[in-house]
Amino acid sequence: MNHYDIIIIGAGPGGLTAGIYAGRQGTKNLIIDRDLAGGLGREVPEMENYPGFDRISGLELVEKMKAQATINCELNEMEEVTEIKQTGGEYRFTVKTDKDEYQSKTIILATGSSHRQLDAKGEEEFKGKGVSYCATCDGFFFAGRDIIMVGGGNSALQEALYLKNLGANVTLVHRRDEFRAQKHLQNMIKEAGINTILNATVEEIKGEMLVESVVLKDTQTGELKEIPTNGVFVSVGYIPHTELAKQLGVELDDSGHIIIDKNQKTNIDYVYAIGDVCIGLKQWVVACGEGAVAATSAFEDLQG
C-alpha cells in the first residue's frame, strides 16, 4: 500500500495549489481527481481578475498550474475516490479508489461542486440537444444562432459575453430584478448590446429533436410567454460535493457546504477543506489561497 503525508482529493485550482505548497514543504503528497485536473475551472472562457494576467482562459491557467503542481506532487487523474476511513496509528486515513488503495496522515478535501440545474420541464430531455451548462464546451456549435443564457451571477454574464463573441444572438434571463454580478460585467453586457429579461424563470424547454423554444414565467405577474431559441445555457449556481466529507463526519452548514476555520481545518482532526465545497466566495483566487493555507496547516500539524 502507498503511504503519504498528505492526500489531496480534487485537482481544481485549490487542490493544485495545495499540491504545490505541500511539495515545497518536503512532504510526500498525492492529488487524486476523478476527472481531468482543473474541475469546473476548465470551463471558464476568460478571466480578467486573476492576478498577473490581464486575460486568461481557465483551461490555459489550469495547464500552467498542473505543470507546476506535478513538479512538487504526484497527480492521479481519472481516478475516483470511493471511500475514506479513519484507521488510527501514524497513517490515520485509508483512501480507497476505483483503482487502488492509499494511506495518509492527513486529508485535504478539494472535491469542488457541480452545476445546479433549473429543474424545468424538458431540461433533462434536451441535455446535449440544446441544453448546456458549459459555454466553453458547447458554444462553438451555436455561432449565429439564438441562445437563452439563464443566470445572474458573474459566471452567467461571463459566459453570455463569450457566446456573444462567438457570434451567437444571446438573451440573458434572470429571476430577480437585477443581476448579482460585478458592475464591471454588467457594464460589459450593456456595451455588447446583449438583450436581458429580468424577473423571469424558465418553466419549460420545448422542441422536437432539438430545443426550439422556452416558456418563461414572469415572477411578478405569473404570466407565461413562449419565445423561440436554439439553445439554453444554464449558470445558476453550484452544488457542493460532500459525499466523502459526510463519510468522515465532517460538519456541514445549512446549505450543505463544509464548515472550516481560518486555517481550513474541519471539525475532524487532520482533515482540511478548500475551494467550492466550503463556505465562502466562489472564486479561483480564493480557492488558491485556501489551498496554500490548508497545505501549510497540514504541515504544521504533522510537525506536532
Catalytic residue (choose from 100, 137, 177, 253): 137
Select from 33, 2, 3 the least CA-distant residue to 18. 33
Q: How many CB atoms lie within 10 A of CB 71?
A: 10
Is 137 known to be catalytic? yes
CB 215 within 8 A of CB 203: yes
Q: Containing H/E element for 15?
A: helix 13-24
Sign of CA dihedral 130, 134, 135, 139: negative
Catalytic residue (choose from 5, 33, 73, 138): 138
Q: How many CB atoms lie within 10 A of CB 81?
A: 23
- Beta strands (DSSP E) in 142-276 are 146-150, 169-173, 195-197, 200-207, 211-218, 224-228, 231-234, 238-240, 271-273
CB 27 within 8 A of CB 11: no
The C-alpha atoms of residue 270 and residue 110 are separated, in whole angstroms, by: 14
Catalytic residue (choose from 5, 35, 54, 134): 134
The C-alpha atoms of residue 129 and residue 57 are separated, in whole angstroms, by: 25
Is 134 known to be catalytic? yes
Cβ-count burial 51-67 (b if 16+ within 10 Å, e if not): eeeeeebbeebbeebbe
Cell of 6: 498528505
CA 263 to chain centre: 22
Catalytic residues: 134, 137-138
